[in-house]
Amino acid sequence: MNSVFVVILGLVLVACQQPTLIGDSIKQGSTTSGTTFSETPTPSPSVGNAQENKADISTPVQSTPVSLDPVSASQPVVVSGASLICILNINKTTMCSAQDAKSKPFHFKPTRAFVATDAKMSWKPVSFANSINPSTWIIKVDPQVSQYSFAVTMMDDASEYLFNWVLSKNNSTLNLIKESSFEFPRVDPVFVETTSIISQSSHSPWLSSIINPVAPCVPLIQLQSSLISTAFLGSSGSQWVELTSPCALGLGMQRNRVVVSQSFQGITGHSYQITFDYRNSPGDSTVHAMKVTFGNDTIFSKATPEVLWTRYNQIVTPKVAPNIIIFLSQSNDENRATAIDNIIVSDLGILSPPSAP
């Protein structure tokens, strides 16, 4: 068992490869710069109206068996093409769900679960409290552990495993992004035309630029609010951003595709957990697309047909210290675009290999 503890996170560092982005699709199992722990789009647990954003975890899909050669069969091997998402419950238990690359439930049969909290990544076994279905489980987490951010690993009898990092709300200061849920400035429903934009002079940490301009406009960031679009809610709070730029303080017809970015100071060698929520333009039948870069690396580039708020979660270790995150509209329509909200970049420090407890 000790050998399992010693190698598990080291294999996470080398075995979980960052996906290669090909056009609007993501190819699993290819290597780009940096190290990727997990790349996970999943229905966001923080949602808009209940009917529209109800996550579907009732339709399981069959997982693809992972082949192990006889030499490495006794060592932990990450499950390719699947991810683990864990959410801390109010009662200090943790619910974890396995999903495939299309956000569908992924069959997995874990028999062991471990958590680690300290900088040395010392893994300790925890017990299962319940199994909701073949892709969702609840584990018991010590109340002292649940006050902090912690890592979770689930492993089956074949030593195949899934990994996730759970960020505690008590560690919200880890977020390098300011105004991450676009709640300021506030949209005034009476004066929508003058309050629903972020300009370069608004002292916002978010900056914008226009790509392939259709109209001669200054770059503005379009805020949306549930106070106006009452049929939809933000994934965190009541406001979100759509990646289209109006030409003036009003909501006129002329618009441009926009790039929204925020700078920060990253550190070489550190790992970062990146999460954001996205969905197609609310109420729009046209499917739009978006590209996201983190430092020098493209971490997301695809069509966004989702009609629910969907959470993207990825842990990366860039080769070069990252200093910016960029959201770029790839829509063919200047008037509508992908919506984004709840953007978090957490510095996890140096994730060293675990030692036996």
Q: What is the 3-state secondary structure (H, E, C) of 115-177?
A: EECCCCCCCEEECEEEEEECCEEEEECCCCHHHCCEEEEEECCCCEEEEEEECCHHHHHHECC
Residue 151, pLDDT score: 83
What single-letter DSSP state applies at residue 106? B
Lowest mean pLDDT among 2-16, 49-63, 137-151, 186-200: 49-63
Lowest mean pLDDT among 14-23, 171-180, 196-205, 343-352: 14-23
Is the pLDDT score of 197 beyond 70? yes
One-letter identity of residue 234: G
User: 244 - beta bridge partners?
Assistant: 257
Q: How far apart are CA 223 and CA 221, in angstroms?
A: 6
Is the pLDDT score of 5 beyond 80? no
In this prediction the pTM is: 0.63
Mean pLDDT of the chain: 72
Is the pLDDT score of 327 beyond 90? yes
| Contact predicate 185/198, CB 8 Å | yes
Select from 13, 7, 26, 8 the least CA-distant residue to 351.
13
Q: How far apart are CA 149 and CA 117, in angstroms?
A: 7
Q: Determine how many CB atoms are found less than 10 A away from the CB of residue 229.
A: 15
Q: Determine how many CB atoms are found less than 10 A away from the CB of residue 35.
A: 20
Is the pLDDT score of 176 beyond 80? yes
Residue 347, pLDDT score: 81
In which residue are the tokens 């406009």 written? 217
pLDDT-derived band at 118, boundaries 50, 70, 90: low
Select from 157, 120, 158 the least CA-distant residue to 6.
120
> 132-173, pLDDT tens digit by residue?
888 999 998 887 776 777 888 888 888 888 887 776 655 555
Question: Could you give the C-alpha distances from 31 to 16, 26, 36, 293, in angstroms and in order?
Answer: 9, 12, 9, 16
> 258-289, pLDDT tens digit by residue?
899 999 999 998 888 888 999 998 888 899 99
Residue 166, pLDDT score: 79
pLDDT-derived band at 76, boundaries 50, 70, 90: low
Q: How far apart are CA 121 and CA 151, in angstroms?
A: 8
Pairing of strands 77-78, 160-166: parallel
Q: Determine how many CB atoms are found less than 10 A away from the CB of residue 206.
A: 20
All domains in the chain, ordered by first residue: 2-172 (2.60.40.10), 174-348 (2.60.120.260)
> 287-303, pLDDT tens digit by residue?
999 999 999 999 999 99
Residue 264, pLDDT score: 94
Q: How far apart are CA 254 and CA 214, in angstroms?
A: 8
pLDDT-derived band at 205, boundaries 50, 70, 90: very high
Lowest mean pLDDT among 39-53, 176-190, 276-290: 39-53
pLDDT-derived band at 355, boundaries 50, 70, 90: very low
Q: How far apart are CA 259 and CA 331, in angstroms?
A: 12
